Amino acid sequence: MYKFGVLTLVLLVQQASAAAGPTDNTANQLQLSDYKRAMTIGDQYAKLTTNVPDVPFWLADGESFVYRQTTKGKHQFILVNAATGTKQPAFDHTRLAAALNRASHKDYKADNLPFAGFKMAKDAGRITFNIENTRWSCDLVSDACTSNTMPPQAYQYRYDRTPPAENNREKTSVSPDGKWLAYSKNYNLFLRSKDGSRNIPLTWDGSESNYYALSTLKWSPDSRHLAGYRIRPGHKRQVHYLESSPRDQLQPKHWTMTYPKAGDTLALHQPVLFDIVSRRQIAVDNASFPNPYSLSPILWWKDGRGFTFEFNQRAHQLYRVVEVDATTGQVRSLIDEVSHTFVDYQPLVNQPRTGKTFRYDVDDGKEIIWASERDGYEHLYLFNGRTGELKNQITRGDWVVRTVYYVDPVKRQIWFGASGMNPAEDPYFVHAYRIDFDGKGLTALTPELANHHIEFSPDGRYYVDLWSRIDAPPRLMLYRASDNAELMQVESAEISELVAAGWQPPLSFHAKGRDGETDIWGIIHLPVNFDPNKRYPVVEHIYAGPTRSSVPKSFSAFVEPLTQLGFIVVQIDGMGTNNRSRAFHDVAWKNLKDGGLPDRILWHKAASAKYPWYDISNLGIFGGSAGGQNAMSALLFHPDFYKVAVASNGSYDNRMDQIWWSEQWMGWPVGIEYSQSSAVDNAFRLQGKLLLIASETDRIVDPSSTLQLADRLIRAGKYFDWLVVPGADHVAPSSYSKLKLLDFFVRNILGQEPPNWNAIGSNWRE
């Protein structure tokens, strides 16, 4: 057991008993009714809105789309025929709920089905959807539902996508002409004729440590060639879990998951090519893709002349489109994306996660539309797909392309979403535009001052626009793409009852960042019964993960629970987050401890200078996941400003975190920067009040990350509170964790002692 010295113990007692600085708001002792309101206000407000549409999605027929509508807290899925403008329920909700309840032994309600989207078969006779980790398929004619539950360890595919070594003659890859079946045996590839009369070995040198992966095979369209990957497995790092309190048995459960971490040896993918006519392997030179982090799935040109894949070099500073000639195996680079920090290869919003941010092959690769940040902003470029030469930059300016909705190769036009083009508005608002391949004819399609979410029909004839602001309820509109004609106002939300009940939208606020030039944007959630003549303590809700920006831009009836206890809650996008310029984003590189905190501090000071009611004398902060890391960094590296923090399931040391995230932002090889940004290695710096929350079976961030931080804090003689939630995944159970968070800020910022919940019992929630 660790023993504190007498002086250390005295200091810790003094620290624990130190009262928070007074504010005008602390004069009133919080009541049970305040807590009840804080814990339930979200559900109450959700019942006061009408006709609120969720993001729509198109069905496979291309003629119809579906959205979930919420009225008075009850949900239904609405199907809209774009051609006729008719609206109707997407299915019989009562029958589906009954069928789902029979199969699941649950009690789901028809007006509150536990999924937000689904896929529907082309004949509209079956839908599939997910409920937590279970995939459901329901026949709408027979009212029968079946399920497929994913075991906990199946999550490893999210982290380790090494193709398996398969030795099953029955599992085959069939040639387009149907004459040949490729299969794997003894780690090698074989061909079997359709009639089974001939079995021909394609390789002889496969082994368990260097095998040919059947699942990667892709046939050329003319069936003359076969390409795939040979795999040399990497280190199979295992994360071990002990579920202490399973619901279905008394004894704990143990399971493991493959979870590569920063610096681990990765599987090596090497492309292989076979000439089926001559039954020979064609050599492919690997010199153009050394030390790969990943190679994307193989994509053949339609004329069979060759195939391409995308090469992401380890360290994420080189991303390349590679072409392999089918006849000779000759390799050449079509497009190179190079950065001295990192290539942000994550897909644009709304795009499938199959490779670089955006790539579209025009006319079987004669041209390639490509997204790049090479001029400092995310833009679209047109390349000659035969030579790899840049033909022209399609979009340009001090703004960013956020998504590509649709490409028309005949009209040579692109519909895309972008933000930051309009200087007079929030630079994160997404608007829709159309532009020609040559960069001419830029046309704005969404004049409303709002944040727009566009969904195009599969054939490009229609699109729906869901737009709103934090202070303006959503509208869902249907348009014809050819002339941008408005065809239908599908839905218009009504929030008059919500406003009458006291809901108020957050305030938008911006201030200059650390460079004195760049505007940093955020929002301010005001406390209940806000009085501008009083002063209110401030708590920041942070998520500064570099993958995205996190401050809400669209309408939501959501209320931060802390506002119901007299706090101001703010959300800010500081430097290092995404969706601004490349320079803005680069702040995160090898520097995740930064979290945009210098910009956030200046933002807080500017808000305090403008608003007399904005009290930052005892500033709090909380966040989960990357936000947990950010909240911890606030206390460790800015103790003069941030005083109280709640950190949940944080990636406190990126050497313990998933490999793609850590190496993307912190670099490779693993260097001193990892230690410099590590909350574990810097635990000795803690001065403020800290509550750590950890989920026992977190499958996103290794739970040991929190335990190692706790260990280092204890060894450094630091006092802190913490909660481990048994059986919880990355997002801890909301009610108990939320109450602990509320109590922690009430005690350490308001200076009040929370109620004795054990004496009160659970009746207070009712």
User: What is the structure's pLDDT at 24?
Assistant: 55
Task: Examine residue 163 and say whether the peptide bond preceding it is cis (omega within 30 degrees of 0).
Answer: no
**How does pLDDT run across 393-429, given as a tens digit for each residue?**
999 999 999 999 999 999 999 999 999 999 989 999 9
CA-CA distance, 282 to 279, in Å (whole number)?
Answer: 10
Q: Is 20's pLDDT higher than 70?
A: no
Q: Is 633's pLDDT higher than 50?
A: yes
User: What is the structure's pLDDT at 765?
Assistant: 58
Planar angle of CA 759, 763, 766, nearest 5 degrees: 155
Angle, helices 626-637/597-610, rounded to nearest 10 degrees: 70
603, amino acid identity: W
CA-CA distance, 61 to 73, in Å (whole number)?
Answer: 30
CB 58 within 8 A of CB 64: yes
Q: Name the phi and psi angles at 233, rounded to 5.
A: -60, 150
**How does pLDDT run across 30-71, given as a tens digit for each residue?**
999 999 999 999 899 999 999 999 999 999 888 999 999 999
CB 321 within 8 A of CB 310: yes
| DSSP string computed for 648-712 | ES---SGGGSBHHHHHHHH-SS--HHHHHH-TTTTGGG--SEEEEEEETT-SSS-THHHHHHHHH
Which residue in this structure is represented by tokens 């999605």?
A: 57
CA dist 307 to 172, 180, 279, 744, Å? Answer: 21, 20, 19, 58
Q: Is 1's pLDDT higher than 80?
A: no
User: What is the structure's pLDDT at 76?
Assistant: 97
**How does pLDDT run across 305-336, given as a tens digit for each residue?**
999 999 999 999 999 999 999 999 999 999 99
Q: Is 351's pLDDT higher than 70?
A: no
In b/e form, how buried is each residue of 207-241, taking b as 16+ CB within 10 angstroms?
Answer: eeeebbbbebbbbbebbbbbbbbbbebeeebebeb
CB 416 within 8 A of CB 372: no
749, amino acid identity: I
Task: Specify which residues 189 forms β-bridges with.
Answer: 184
User: What is the structure's pLDDT at 563?
Assistant: 98
CA-CA distance, 231 to 207, in Å (whole number)?
Answer: 10
Mean pLDDT of 165-191: 94
Task: Specify which residues 721 forms β-bridges with.
Answer: 691
CB 289 within 8 A of CB 311: yes
**How many beta carbons lie within 10 A of that of residue 557, not counting itself?**
21
pLDDT band at 168 (very low <50, low <70, confident <90, very high): confident
User: What is the structure's pLDDT at 13?
Assistant: 31
Planar angle of CA 575, 581, 585, nearest 5 degrees: 40
Look up the CATH architecture of domain 506-765.
Answer: 3-Layer(aba) Sandwich (3.40)
Q: Which helix (H) or strand (E) segment is 97 a member of?
A: helix 93-104
Strands (E), 276-422: 280-282, 292-295, 299-300, 306-313, 318-325, 331-338, 359-362, 367-372, 379-384, 390-393, 400-408, 413-419
CA dist 443 to 402, 434, 572, Å? Answer: 16, 5, 31
For the chain, the structural domain boundaries read 52-152, 161-232+268-345, 506-765
Q: Is 11's pLDDT higher than 60?
A: no
CB 176 within 8 A of CB 223: yes
**How does pLDDT run across 193-220, given as a tens digit for each residue?**
999 889 999 999 999 999 999 999 999 9
Percentage above 70 pLDDT, the chain: 94
pLDDT band at 762 (very low <50, low <70, confident <90, very high): low
CA-CA distance, 24 to 34, in Å (whole number)?
Answer: 17
**How does pLDDT run across 520-543, given as a tens digit for each residue?**
999 999 999 999 999 999 999 999
CA-CA distance, 88 to 68, in Å (whole number)?
Answer: 12
| DSSP string computed for 41-68 | HHHHHHTT-BSEE---EE-TTSSEEEEE
Mean pLDDT of 641-663: 97
pLDDT band at 347 (very low <50, low <70, confident <90, very high): confident
Question: H helices within 587-658, ranges in order?
Answer: 597-610, 626-637
**In the structure encoding, which two tokens stand for residue 233, read together?**
């497995």
**How does pLDDT run across 696-737, given as a tens digit for each residue?**
999 999 999 999 999 999 999 999 999 999 999 998 767 899
Q: Is 444's pLDDT higher than 60?
A: yes
Say if residue 530 is exposed, middle or buried (CB neighbours under 10 Å; 0-12, 13-18, 19+). Answer: middle
**In the structure encoding, which two tokens stand for residue 527, read together?**
């406390």
CA-CA distance, 691 to 710, in Å (whole number)?
Answer: 10
CA-CA distance, 3 to 717, in Å (whole number)?
Answer: 9
CA-CA distance, 191 to 172, in Å (whole number)?
Answer: 9
**In the structure encoding, which two tokens stand for residue 716, read together?**
């450094």
**How does pLDDT run across 587-611, given as a tens digit for each residue?**
999 999 999 999 999 999 999 999 9
Q: Is 274's pLDDT higher than 80?
A: yes
pTM of the full predicted structure? 0.93
Q: Kind of pairing, strands 614-624 and 642-648?
A: parallel
Q: What's the first-to-final CA gap in the chain, in angstroms?
A: 43
Q: Which helix (H) or strand (E) segment is 713 a member of?
A: helix 704-715
Percentage above 90 pLDDT, the chain: 88
Closest CA to 306 of 382, 225, 229, 374: 225
User: What is the structure's pLDDT at 133?
Assistant: 83
Q: Is 761's pLDDT higher than 90?
A: no
CA-CA distance, 744 to 663, in Å (whole number)?
Answer: 34
285, amino acid identity: D
Closest CA to 179 of 166, 197, 201, 203: 197
Mean pLDDT of 134-153: 90
Question: H helices within 392-530, ranges in order?
Answer: 496-500
User: What CATH number should be reported for the domain whose range is 161-232+268-345?
Assistant: 2.140.10.30
Average pLDDT score, the chain: 93
Query: Coil, helix or strand for 605?
Result: helix
| Whether the domain at 161-232+268-345 and the domain at 506-765 fall into the same CATH topology | no
